[in-house]
Amino acid sequence: MPYKHTDSNTCSDVGLIVTGNDLSQLFSDAAVGLIAVTAEPEELVEQKAVDLKLAAESLEDLFYSWLSEVVYLKDAQNLLVCRCEISISQEPPFMLTGKVYGDIIDRMRHTLKVDVKAVTYYRLRVEKKNDHWEAEAVLDL
């Protein structure tokens, strides 16, 4: 699995660590990994697509904005993101453009777990490690 959920050291929350061959894959898997805290990914069916365009001054800030957007879509549009088609510019200004696909929350059909309420800056990082990328975020539950 390209993501794992970890102890966050803050007791009440959960950490998310993701690896990817490139930034697009890294960010996509992070979004799926975030939603996996709340719902079972295998139960999700693509029902809706949303276009997104984000910009930030650093990759970490872009990662924060991206995951925050996934949380926002869950609450405001009941959208559980399960697949992403995105591209990310690796040079400043950092831009993310593309589309996310997801399922609409259905309390009868989905095994719903604990809600992700926010993304934090605690231990937030996006790093290039030899031939791959790695990112970490702690999610407020």
Partner 1 sequence: MNRKSVVKVTENIWEISPDYKAGMIVPARIYSSPELIDGIDEKVIDQITNVACLPGIQKYSYCMPDGHVGYGFPIGGVAAFDIEGGIISPGGIGFDINCGMRLLRTNLTLDDIRPKLETLLDDLFTTIPSGVGSSGYVKLNNSQFRQIMKNGVGWCVENGYASDSDCEHIENNGCLDHADPDAVSAKAVSRGINQMGTLGSGNHYLEVEIAAPENIFDRKAAEQFGIHMDNQVLISIHCGSRGFGHQIATDYLQTFGKCAAKYGLVVRDKELMSAPIDSEEGRRYFNAMACAANAAFVNRQLIVHGVRASFERVFKGASARPLIETIYDVAHNIAKREVYEIDGRKKTVLVHRKGATRSFGPGSREIPEKYRSVGQPVIVGGSMESGSALLRGTEIADNTTFGSSLHGAGRTMSRIKAKQKMHGGEVKSRMKERGILVKTGYMKGLSEEAGYAYKNIDQVIEAVDTAGISKKVARFYPVLNIKG
Which 43-72 positions form the footprint of partner 1 (CB under 8 A)?
57, 61, 64-65, 68, 71-72
The DSSP code for 114 is P
State which residue, 12 or 130, has the beta carbon closest to partner 1: 12
Q: How far apart are CA 81 and CA 74, in angstroms?
A: 8
Q: How far apart are CA 58 and CA 98, in angstroms?
A: 18
The residue range among 45-53, 81-89, 116-124, 126-134 that interacts with partner 1, by the rule CB under 8 A, is 116-124
Q: Does 113 bind partner 1 (CB under 8 A)?
A: yes
Tally the residues of the chain.
141
Question: In terms of Cα–Cα distance, which of 100, 20, 9 is closest to 54?
Answer: 100
The residue range among 41-49, 82-90, 108-116, 127-135 that interacts with partner 1, by the rule CB under 8 A, is 108-116
Which 1-30 positions form the footprint of partner 1 (CB under 8 A)?
5-14
CB 28, CB 86: distance < 8 Å: yes
Find the shortest distance in angstroms from Cβ 106 to partner 1. Answer: 8
Environment class of 57 (CB within 10 Å of its CB; exposed 0-12, middle 13-18, buried 19+): exposed
Site residues (vs partner 1, CB under 8 A):
5-14, 38-39, 57, 61, 64-65, 68, 71-72, 75-76, 78, 105, 107, 112-115, 117-122, 124, 138, 140-141
